[in-house]
Amino acid sequence: MNLVFVYGTLKRGFQNHSPYMDGLPFKGRHRTVEMFPLVTFGEWLTPCLMNDPGKGHRVWGELFEVPHDRLPAMDHLEECHLPDGYRRLTTHIEPEAGGEPFEAFVYLRAPHFVVDIRSAPVEEYHFDATYVAPALRYAIR
């Protein structure tokens, strides 16, 4: 099993949770130990955690246990195969209730690939009705 920290549309109740995270063990709310910019960007108002440590905020999200065979689908969603896609890296997080920090996977995108930023950095991504899930993007054009 892998620990994966999610901060955007993969969280419970969000658009991408069901197809990718259903049935996976939820380990609670956590936040990053280091500060990162969490913004929305682009035409689809996609939440993005930029790989620019030391800037932004300590970001709140959710932690899940993810088996190895589920990671490729998540990597595909996050476009890890593309040069400008996200990268699955590790960062230190800590539980909301307190405790020792530990490492978990997180999807980060290089700042120079985050164009058309639409929000200031936030501590936590909240539901945004204007976000369009990947499966619907080309159907509405």
pLDDT tens, position by position, 103-125: 999 999 999 999 999 999 999 99
Query: In this predicted model, what pLDDT tens digit does every residue of 25-77 receive, in sequence order?
Result: 999 999 999 999 999 998 888 999 999 999 999 999 999 999 999 999 999 99
| Residue 80 burial (C-beta neighbours within 10 Å; 0-12, 13-18, 19+) | middle
**82-107 mean pLDDT:** 97
Catalytic residue among 62, 65, 78, 124: 78
Is residue 78 part of the annotated active site? The answer reads yes
**5-17 mean pLDDT:** 93
Residue 103's contacts (CB-CB under 8 Å, 6 or more residues apart) are 3, 90, 91, 92, 93
Kindly indicate the confidence band of residue 141, based on its pLDDT and cuts at 50, 70 and 90.
very low
User: Are 14 and 77 in contact, with CB atoms under 8 Å apart?
Assistant: no
User: What's the rounded Cα separation, in Å, for the pair 132 and 51?
Assistant: 23
137: closest CA among 16, 13, 11, 12? 16
User: Are 108 and 56 in contact, with CB atoms under 8 Å apart?
Assistant: no
Sketch out the chain's domains with CATH numbers.
2-128 (3.10.490.10)
Q: What is the dihedral of CA 119, 125, 130, 131, to 10 degrees?
A: 100
Report the predicted TM-score, pTM, of the whole model to 2 decimal places.
0.90
